[in-house]
A = this chain, B = another copy of it.
């Protein structure tokens, strides 16, 4: 039957923790896969805050959301052309400490012409911001790619950051395929206790 894929495992973790009406964040919109999944979980009374620094990512995400969702559910998604490192400025203050989930897919936008990749400094700043925004029981999912240039350095920095999170406040889980393709994407998930 095969083990559950990294993407499916992330979506299982989200489905177990995100309720209708919740506020959630897609920190790296890309083509909008996670934003769409989150929008379905939170519904029209919820809110998805999506971030990407590439206009193409916002376009592709908007197209996906409008195609796959009823208009009122798509309206619950805010797309921000802005670095995820600035997410706290974009999420209303009354949602701080209330966010149920933040998703990250590090690396680059699949199929994009430009070679824009996530950068270690802004990634770490965004991860720190995510933990501040999260509610207890909320999770940050981080899918790491090491196949592109700079990818393994970024992954190492995120690994070091995650491994130092205090166990009293956070639990970090690794879900990773461990044979064959050495650059297969893998997951670090952080739950706030």
Q: How far is the CA of A166 from the CA of B163 in the complex (A)?
A: 29
Residue A162, interface by CB 8 Å: yes
Q: Chain A interface: which size bin? A: 20 to 34
Q: How far is the CA of A188 from the CA of B178 in the complex (A)?
A: 8
A16 engages B1 (CB within 8 Å):
yes
Q: Which residue of B lies closest to A16 (CB)?
A: B1
Q: Which residue of B lies closest to A139 (CB)?
A: B3
Q: How far is the CB of A170 from chain B (nearest CB, A)?
A: 6
A137 engages B176 (CB within 8 Å):
no
Interface residues of A in 112-157 (CB under 8 A from B): 137
Q: How far is the CB of A10 from chain B (nearest CB, A)?
A: 12
A173 engages B166 (CB within 8 Å):
no
A171 engages B3 (CB within 8 Å):
yes
Which residues of chain B are near A170, meaning CB under 8 Å?
179
